[in-house]
Amino acid sequence: MRFRFMHMADVHLGNRQYGIDERASDFAAVFYEACDHAVRHKLDFVLIAGDLFHKRQIDAMTLNQAVLGLQKLRAAGIPCVVVQGNHELAPYGEAIGWVQYLALQDLVVLLHPILSGDPLQLQPYAQREGSYIDVRPGVRIYGLHFTGAACAKLLVRYAQAISDLPPAQRTQPDGTPVDYTIFMAHTGVQGVLAGDSSSPGMGDWRALDDHADYVALGHIHKPFDFETRFYNPGSLETCGVDEVEWSTRGFLVVNVDTRSDPKHAVERVRSKRRPFLRLVLKVDPYRSADTLLAACRTLVEDEAARPGGELRPLVELSLTGALQFAHQALDLSEIEQMARQALNALYVMVRNKANPLDAAGSLIDEELSRDEMERAIFTDLFGADAEYKGQSELWAASAASVKSLALRKAPPTEIVEEIDATIQKVVEARKGASAPAAPDAPETDLEVELEVGVEPVDARPAQPAAAPEPRPDAPQTLFDW
């Protein structure tokens, strides 16, 4: 059996990014483009793995954009099968959400299991509701909406529920077997993105090994695929600057031939989204606001000279390094206006990440050697943190040693020994400092506290033990899935 389908996710219709109307239109435009592609290439069906909408409460314009895109598919006789994402679950206190409304209008097939029972219950899609659908003879799609950190355990229950289906429901109504199974869920795979602690890990996903040929994912806006089974297309448009580097985002076109192994060949199609430029200027060489502005001008004019798309770009211009003059002299709005004109940009954000003169400038002393300067900067950084302040020189010495150990690729045990030795020294130093005032201070607390303090050496971003679940109504953060 051969057929083709499209897999997209994280469309985020209604995302009026940066308060700009054109951005909401951009999110609609790439959705229309995907729908047109499906129609033009006569695909057999389309999957949207959650977050069709950016918000639970959408306006009429956003609903109209969804309807216009979905009508293209319906007019061409292409079924569109969806699951709900975290951004679009029914608003609190409402019986149904807007994706369910689209299902009631026969514009989408909305799938979800019935979670209340144990074991979990799966119903075939009927009367605009259900957990799975045989979208064409021999092709079955199971759906799971966004369930947050509960997802890992639900996968096991879902797999069990599939195994427990009565024989009559394991096959097509005419008794022919299911040849190709898709499991669609609005969740990721843990480890793809740092800071994502709610997605199931690969071990959890193993539960579905015997139940899915293709796992259609959404939620994480970074595209990825694993084991020719797990696929994530990434966001169609750019919901945050951190997504810019994931250039292959778009939609997937899956060519299935159930006689081949694997049963599908997957093609990534990059969406025609608005260009998003990230420019960086290191400010260290510039001794005045005027020379810095001139350097910004050169940077953006060089960028403007490059061949661009038809769409006015979005621009992020970051200033990094150490500022060599008083930051009050720096006029960010002047830089922003200049960049907007030079690049004919739709929107420019200037991010000043440069260290102000008083923090970094005071440490730059041409009399010092490189090592001495490094030690001075480490001491200053540790000294700025209340936790390390009392023993900042000990920590600075240790940081310098750890750095050189790492540079000469010393074994991890040696690095741990170095840090251990420092902790011992710090404990001794603290005992000495606090002994007269608090002779009975419990040693263990101190050590626990210090162990926590050592973590940054690990070079991994600190992760909270249990990250809060993404809240759809929360303001846009770094990871606005």
Residue number with CB closer to Mn ion (51 or 196) = 51
Q: Rounded to an integer, what distance in angstroms lies between the CA atom of residue 11 and that of residue 66?
A: 10
Instruction: Return the bridge partners of 48, or none.
Output: 8, 82
**Helix (H), strand (E), coil (C) string for 27-48:** HHHHHHHHHHHHHHCCCCEEEE
Binding site for Mn ion (CB under 5 A): 10, 51, 481
Q: Which is nearer to Mn ion, 276 or 382 (CB)?
A: 276
Q: Give the residue at shortest CB distance from Mn ion.
A: 51
Which is nearer to Mn ion, 10 or 44 (by Cβ)? Answer: 10
Closest contact distance (angstroms) between CB of 9 and Mn ion is 7
Is residue 266 within 8 Å of 252, Cβ to Cβ? yes
10 versus 196: smaller Cβ distance to Mn ion: 10
Q: How far apart are CA 77 and CA 79, in angstroms?
A: 6
Given the complex with Mn ion, which of 125 and 481 has the nearer CB atom?
Answer: 481
- Least gap, CB of 17 to Mn ion (angstroms): 13
Residue 266: CB atoms within 10 Å: 16
We find the least distance from the C-beta atom of residue 135 to Mn ion, in angstroms, to be 23
CA 302 from centroid of its chain's CA atoms: 30
CA distance 162 to 60: 38
> Beta strand 276-282 with 109-110: parallel, antiparallel or unpaired?
unpaired
How is residue 42 written in tokens? 């006569």
| Nearest approach, Cβ of residue 100 and Mn ion (Å) | 18
DSSP for residue 112: -
Nearest partner of 43 among 256, 260, 262, judged by Cα: 256
Please, what is the minimum distance in Å from the beta carbon of residue 219 to Mn ion?
6
| DSSP 8-class letter at 336 | H
Is the CB of 231 or the CB of 481 nearer to Mn ion? 481
Whole-number minimum distance, CB 10 to Mn ion, in Å? 4
339's enclosing H/E stretch is helix 332-343
Smallest gap, in angstroms, from Cβ of residue 204 to Mn ion?
Answer: 20
Cβ nearer to Mn ion, comparing 211 with 222: 222
The Cα–Cα gap between 478 and 481 comes to 9
